[in-house]
């Protein structure tokens, strides 16, 4: 795993945006795995600027999002569909038919999970997966204990994850209890991974990722050690004391 240290969040976001934009320039039909949450927000903002100022085109890019809450309508302000539209897709020239996000309202969840995996495979796999990390080491919504061999599945969110994400909702009671997420095996099948880590809240998780020896299912992000092409961009606060 290659680690790039930045002074703060702004610089982290700039590097991440440059990284993604360079990949698209090299491969205009890139298949890009996307993440939500607070960390990549600025990266999306800078990618939009880059699209407007430098003309980086998403016309041939295909995207797959990591996860979605179960039970939230795509129009719900807290759904990841809504997040992606507002934060990124509405501002770039991506073709709507090339956007894939798990459907948190699917009536047959098992079928939805299976079909999501098939769509990724049909596309030839993900070229570059953008990732964040939860304070408990979750990636996507794969909570501690999720099997490394898991593919897209439904998961019950850990109480700590619901608490961490409650900041986006009116109250913790509104945070869904379940989510549909790409599995750890689906994430690790990506050809390349870009992990963004910002702030003191993530310091302990990053320390565990960079210092502990063997991957363990108790700490989902640890699987990244086994991937041949992972780049971590982390700011000083996240890297403090490491
Ligand atoms: C969320 C998302 C993850 C994200 C992580 C960290 O719950 N499901 O994809 O990477 O938790 O989020 P944040 O960047 O807001 O700290």
**How many whole angstroms separate alpha carbon 56 and alpha carbon 30?**
12
pLDDT value for 237: 98
> pTM score, two decimals?
0.97
**What CATH class has 2-203+210-236?**
alpha beta
Does ipTM exceed 0.90? yes
pLDDT value for 114: 98
Out of 132, 156, 167, 186, give the residue to mutate to test ligand 1, the one with the largest number of ligand atoms within 8 Å of its CB.
132
pLDDT by residue (tens digit) across 113-135? 999 999 999 999 999 999 999 99
pLDDT value for 51: 98
Query: Which residues form ligand 1's pocket by a CB distance below 6 Å?
Result: 35-39, 66-67, 132-134, 140-141, 161, 165
Tell me the three-class secondary structure of 69-118, residue by residue. Answer: ECCCCCCCCCCHHHHHHHHCHHHCCCCHHHEECCCCCCCCHHHHHHHHHH
Place of tokens 């795995």: 33
pLDDT value for 213: 83
For every residue of 120-153, DSSP letters joined together read HHHTT--SEEEE---TT--BTTB-TT--TT--SE
For the chain, which ranges sit under pLDDT 50? none
Active-site option among 138, 165, 203, 235: 138
**Ligand 1 centroid vs 108 CA: distance in angstroms?**
25
Rg (alpha carbons) of the chain, rounded to whole number: 17
Ligand 1 atom showing the smallest separation from residue 165 Cα? 7
Task: Decide if 233 contacts 198 (C-beta within 8 A).
Answer: no
**Ligand 1 centroid vs 140 CA: distance in angstroms?**
7
Q: Is 143 a catalytic residue?
A: yes
pLDDT by residue (tens digit) across 81-105? 999 999 999 999 999 999 999 999 9
């Amino acid at each position: 795993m290659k680690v790039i240290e930045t002074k703060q969040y702004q610089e982290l976001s700039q590097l991440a945006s440059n990284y993604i934009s360079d990949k698209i320039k090299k491969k205009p039909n890139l298949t890009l795995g996307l993440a939500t949450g607070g960390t990549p927000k600025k990266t999306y903002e800078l990618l939009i600027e880059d699209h407007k100022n430098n003309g980086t085109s998403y016309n041939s890019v295909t995207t797959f999002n990591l996860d979605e809450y179960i039970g939230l309508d795509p129009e719900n302000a807290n759904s990841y569909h809504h997040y992606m539209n507002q934060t990124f897709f509405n501002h770039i020239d991506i073709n709507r038919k090339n956007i894939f996000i798990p459907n948190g309202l699917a009536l047959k969840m098992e079928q939805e999970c299976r079909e999501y995996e098939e769509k990724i495979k049909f596309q030839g796999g993900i070229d570059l997966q953008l990732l964040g990390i939860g304070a408990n080491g979750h990636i996507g919504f794969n909570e501690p204990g999720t099997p490394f061999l898991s593919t897209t599945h439904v998961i019950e969110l850990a109480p700590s994850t619901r608490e961490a994400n409650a900041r986006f909702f009116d109250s913790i009671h509104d945070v869904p209890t379940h989510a549909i997420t790409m599995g750890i095996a689906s994430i690790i099948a990506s050809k390349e991974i870009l992990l963004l880590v910002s702030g003191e809240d993530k310091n302990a998780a990053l320390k565990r990722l960079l210092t502990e020896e063997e991957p363990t299912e108790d700490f989902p992000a640890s699987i990244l050690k086994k991937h041949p092409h992972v780049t971590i961009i982390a700011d000083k606060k996240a890297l403090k004391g490491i």
